[in-house]
Amino acid sequence: MESVNTSVPTQEKAVVLAGDYLNKLTGDQIERECRMRIDAGCKELVVDFSRTEIVNSVGISILLGVIDTAANAGATVVFSDVNEHTAELFEILGVSRHALVNPN
């Protein structure tokens, strides 16, 4: 299960790539990346789910934490290229109420 995080550190917008399985290990990495971008002044945080097949409960909790942190910093969060299954999960759990979810 690879987890590759890349980001384009522009001032306003940052893109973080989620791995193929968003669980605790990979989720922690993503949370760290997101916090760094937000602390650096990012106002729009994009998490790229193009390679992500599964998001488990820990992953959901971490994403909610990212949303919370972004909201406190006045930044918006976008989850891009989300697969159907994950999009449905975000809808059920209310994640899509707090972040823009773009399906792939």
- Tell me which of 4, 32, 41, 57 binds another protein, using CB under 8 A: 57
Query: If residue 18 lies in a helix (H) or strand (E), which one and from where to where?
Result: none
Q: Which of 42, 55, 47 is nearest to 81 (CA)?
A: 47
Q: How far is the CB of 11 from another protein (least distance, A)?
A: 26
Find out whether 37 and 16 touch, Cβ atoms under 8 Å. Answer: yes
- For residue 57 the two structure tokens come to 């409960």
84 binds another protein (CB under 8 A): no
Q: How far is the CB of 41 from another protein (least distance, A)?
A: 21
Q: How far is the CB of 83 from another protein (least distance, A)?
A: 13
